Structure 1
Amino acid sequence: MKIYHNGLIYTMEAEEKTAAAVGVEENRIVQIFERIPEIEGADYIDLNGGVMLPGFIDTHIHLVGTGIALGGIDFRDDRTIDEVKDKIRKAAEELPPDSWLICEGYDDNQLNYKLTRQELDALTSHKVLVKRICRHAAIVNSAALDSLNIRENVEDMEGGRFEREAGILNGWVHDNAMELFVDASVHETEESLCQHMERAADAMHAAGLTAIHTEDLGYYHDFRNVFNAYKKTFGKGKKQLRLNLLRHTSIFEELIAEGYTYDTWIKADSMKFYADGALGGRTALFRAPYHDAPETSGLAIYTQEELEAEVRKARAYGETVAVHMIGDRACEMVLDAIEKYPPINGRDRLIHVSFLGEDLVKRMAQLPVICDVQPSFLTSDFPWAIDRVGNERIEYAYAWKTLLNHGIVIGGGSDAPIETFNPLVGIDAAVNRRPFNDDTQYTVHESLSVFEAIKLYTVLAADVAERPDNGLIKEGYLADFTILEDDPFTVVPLKIHQIEVSMTVVDGDVIYEKERK
């Protein structure tokens, strides 16, 4: 038996419920001790005064994209446009001819600057794709447009938009229009996918993550390569990170027809699709026009009839749906569809649900739905989100307390690489509801307690994952633990995001341990 001891152990069964030690055999918790036992032959694992919690779970990550971002060009931490341009110029100089330069994390709100096609053209003749941080918009240069034979007379497509200024393409492309360039620029192999996954898994373990929900199968040309990479990378004795796989509608039926098998490490999850875009690019779909752009209410990826057809597709296989929705009109459309075609079994997943209304919350409470939300969005979206929607709609923005009060299950995610996958950043955001560059708190009536916020990444995230033996420190449960250096329940709340992980345990094995100085 392994006995974890010499730390503060929160079981998460109830607020302030603690234990003195935890006994583990193989990959299961077999006993919770109120005092440290003396058992001959036991392997005592010293927590060194750390704080043990059930293993953190992220309900919304793009695993491959995160691995690519960790190893590539990313502007998330840049604060000036000169830094961004310098990175693009230097990276392009190292590329072979006729290759793509792919960049992540461009945030025009943070930089207070919007790149132009002409500026990219001046930096390099290589094809360039710079993804906005939301990943629902990007800017491309003329070489990228030429490579796809896209001219000034190109028409917008269903669920996609080419941005223009004075009738001329400015290089900004949104949602399905952006996907044209993403698809053209992807050249991943099974080997490279494994490398991206391994890089991401190591970083996630260091952040205390023991399980994630990911959606990668529809983006790298051949889902077989992605699935094979999952199998090669994850499992006992490999990278020990549990995966729930959302399956994109574009490959959903073919994936089922291939007859892939799943296990405790790699678990099939709902069919995924998008109802709208993102707030930053004003493609999130609202019932009323944008406050700062009254000419638009956003972008619907599907008509109502098409959206209902997607739901019916999943139902034909006895499956649930997982739908991206930021704006209130997108949520309304999805609720209309799933009320009309309810699941045969299981619960549909509502992703993000960033902007709601009282009527929508009441409807959600009557349906078999779960939500995965991204608290760290709030740290990036305020205060400019208020400019987008105005003061009235902001009252039901990121309304996590309201959802919990209505008995709706919500799990915490990051949407990495859009935001950091560090769960402590999400926990901090759910408690404090403020950007990290100032102390202004927003819509504090929706703030969660520390206990509620940690539940988003443990108890409730396991519920969203439909993993009934995970999310608690309890006899019979999987031995997945996150050990922190400080206590999130007693540390100054505004410093929760600064807490560091000292150890991560998955399936009874220590798979990350911080080096001690």
Structure 2
Amino acid sequence: MRALVNGVIYVSFNPVKRVSGLVIANDRVVFAGEGEVARKIAEMADGEVVDLKGKFVMPAFFDSHLHLDELGMSLEMVDLRGVKSIEELVNKLRSSKAKIIFGFGWDQDELGRWPTRDDLDGIDRPVFIYRKCFHVAVANSKMLELLNLKPSEDFDESTGLIKEKALEEARKVINEKVLSVDDYAHYILRAQDHLLNLGVHSVDFMSVNEKALKALFELERERKLRLNVFAYLNPELLDKLESLGLGKFEGRRLVIAGVKLFTDGSLGARTALLSEPYSDDPSTSGQLVADKNYLVSVIERAKSLGLDVAIHAIGDKALDVALDAFEETEFAGRIEHASVVRDDQLERIKDLGIRLSVQPHFIISDWWVVERVGEERAKWVYRFKTLSKYAELGFSTDAPIEPADPWLTVDAAVNRGKSKVKLYELTKGEALSMDEALHFYTYGSASVSLARDIGKLEPGFKAEYIVLDRDPLKLAFS
């Protein structure tokens, strides 16, 4: 048993509730109240008393959508974020000592054009680089020989540009030919250390493939998981679950929570599906990755196994498709991103009981979004204040697509890129208060993930907390 005393302890942020004492037993909160009472409880049980010396305690962060394997891998990839020219990009890649070079984070709008296989062919090793959204990649000729992709509308062999469905095929080849289960375990542990150091104790691990799942079970069995991991599997794994008669699994740290599906791509690559053409490229409205019939079939299978369903929908038309599928199956699932949401979709989200996982730092990264969708549609973009009135809202980073540091996300939610991005002036009314942002990043994310015993420090909840030198409700961002 352990008691925390002599500090300010935030039990919850909605409502804001503070106490001066907390007692923890068997990794759960058993008392939240006066510090002297907490001290006496611990002393009576011959437990430990921790003097906070005036510091602040709050529930640990819960990231409701990220990719543990890719985050861990990105920590060992060539970081191409902020690169401003093709020459700089190639030079950074060439400096890598890896036999197969992986990179991530480039943005064609910052580079001035899309990188190509020809640009990368000056490097004498296989090269594979993800755009910052991880929905587009470029490979050089040596890597394309390994991938052996079939020609398709999503794969331009002449430029080495790979997107959406072709990119999924490329990932499968990399998974089968390049990475082992031990590699996945290594990357998951790298990501875990990174997140714990940032105050993130719980995550929804999205798009889990078979090797990553095996690695998770291995780490759970060996008691190496220190994060609470809620795994959302690729739909291809449903066959194996059904054949084994398995559904939702709940271990000490690992939960097999659901299935992850896609309806579209990203705004940055102009593959997010919009109801009207892109304002800066009227030749396209985006791309439908999976139609309603497919979504319905997977949702029904997931339901029969007791699994949750999370559907990626960034564009407003993609959101229509996802909502249609949830309505037809009478399933109250969750939407990932909900980046562009029309007014007429709000009541429908509420009526269907949809939960939303959103990424506030997209506001900063998508600095070009007003040009992409135009000023009229910009009012529908990243409208977190409005969305919170219609649905349970959870915060996430989609790491490694955005930095895993939760305070950067909180800053983006509260300040919306003030003085940094054009979207701020058009949507400043969507800014959240600090207590709202912290609620959505703790109990809000837990609720979206159907984890009702995480995200607060009330009796009965898991004792997932962080200690801060400053009052989290009074933090100021530059």
1:58 aligns with 2:52: no
User: Distance between the aligned counterparts of 1:423 and 1:235, measured in 2?
Assistant: 29
Partner of 2:424, secondary structure, is coil
1:391 offset after TM fit, Å? Answer: 0.7
Moved over 6 A (4+): none
User: Distance between the aligned counterparts of 1:358 and 1:291, measured in 2?
Assistant: 19
Long gaps (5+) in structure 1:
496-517
Q: Name which of structure 1's ranges 434-443 and 202-211 shifts more when overlaid on structure 2.
A: 434-443
1:169 aligns with 2:158: yes
Aligned to 1:329: 317
Aligned to 2:348: 363
Q: Name which of structure 1's ranges 390-399 and 169-178 shifts more when overlaid on structure 2.
A: 169-178
1:297 aligns with 2:249: no
Q: 1:485 aligns with which of 457, 469, 472?
A: 469
Aligned to 2:276: 288
1:31 aligns with 2:31: yes
Aligned to 1:73: 78
Partner of 1:415, secondary structure, is coil
1:416 aligns with 2:399: yes
Per-residue CA deviation, residues 442-471 of structure 1 (Å, 9 max, x unaligned), is 411111111110011111111112222221
Mapping of residues 219-258 of structure 1, within 5 Å? 223=210, 225-234=211-220, 238-258=224-244
Q: 1:155 aligns with which of 134, 152, 157?
A: 152
Q: Name which of structure 1's ranges 194-203 and 8-17 shifts more when overlaid on structure 2.
A: 8-17
User: Distance between the aligned counterparts of 2:294 and 2:78, measured in 1?
Assistant: 36
Contact 1:234 1:241 in 2 (8 A): no
Contact 2:263 2:291 in 1 (8 A): no
1:49 offset after TM fit, Å? Answer: 3.2
1:150 offset after TM fit, Å? Answer: 5.5
User: Distance between the aligned counterparts of 2:28 and 2:152, measured in 1?
Assistant: 57
Aligned to 1:473: 457
User: Distance between the aligned counterparts of 1:79 and 1:359, measured in 2?
Assistant: 39
User: Distance between the aligned counterparts of 2:466 and 2:422, measured in 1?
Assistant: 28
User: Distance between the aligned counterparts of 2:324 and 2:74, measured in 1?
Assistant: 36
Aligned to 1:306: 294
1:141 offset after TM fit, Å? Answer: 1.8
1:147 offset after TM fit, Å? Answer: 4.0
Mark the CA change 1:247 to 1:440 in structure 2 (over 3 Å): closer, same or farther. closer
1:330 offset after TM fit, Å? Answer: 0.2
TM-score, length basis structure 1: 0.85
Aligned to 1:373: 358
Aligned to 2:48: 43
Amino acid at match of 2:267: L
1:78 offset after TM fit, Å? Answer: 4.1
Mark the CA change 1:180 to 1:468 in structure 2 (over 3 Å): closer, same or farther. closer
Aligned to 1:179: 168
Mark the CA change 1:375 to 1:438 in structure 2 (over 3 Å): closer, same or farther. closer
Give the structure with the larger helix fraction: 2
Amino acid at match of 1:139: V
Mapping of residues 85-484 of structure 1, within 5 Å? 85-91=90-96, 94-96=97-99, 100-122=100-122, 124-149=123-148, 154-156=151-153, 161-163=154-156, 169-186=158-175, 187-218=178-209, 223=210, 225-234=211-220, 238-259=224-245, 261-343=249-331, 347-382=332-367, 384-406=368-390, 408-434=391-417, 441-442=424-425, 443-484=427-468
Contact 1:216 1:226 in 2 (8 A): no
1:314 offset after TM fit, Å? Answer: 2.7
Aligned to 1:501: none
Mark the CA change 1:437 to 1:45 in structure 2 (over 3 Å): closer, same or farther. farther
Partner of 1:20, secondary structure, is strand
Contact 1:5 1:21 in 2 (8 A): yes
1:435 offset after TM fit, Å? Answer: 7.1
Contact 2:77 2:101 in 1 (8 A): no
Amino acid at match of 2:239: E
TM-score, length basis structure 2: 0.91
Amino acid at match of 1:311: I
Partner of 2:35, secondary structure, is coil
Mark the CA change 1:146 to 1:27 in structure 2 (over 3 Å): closer, same or farther. closer
Q: Name which of structure 1's ranges 330-339 and 180-189 shifts more when overlaid on structure 2.
A: 180-189
Amino acid at match of 1:274: F
Long gaps (5+) in structure 2:
none
1:369 offset after TM fit, Å? Answer: 1.4
Mark the CA change 1:320 to 1:230 in structure 2 (over 3 Å): closer, same or farther. closer
Aligned to 2:18: 18
Q: Name which of structure 1's ranges 44-53 and 391-400 shifts more when overlaid on structure 2.
A: 44-53
The alignment-based identity, stated in percent, is: 30
User: Distance between the aligned counterparts of 1:150 and 1:15, measured in 2?
Assistant: 53
Per-residue CA deviation, residues 374-394 of structure 1 (Å, 9 max, x unaligned), is 111111012x01111101111
User: Distance between the aligned counterparts of 1:435 and 1:13, measured in 2?
Assistant: 24
User: Distance between the aligned counterparts of 1:95 and 1:415, measured in 2?
Assistant: 25
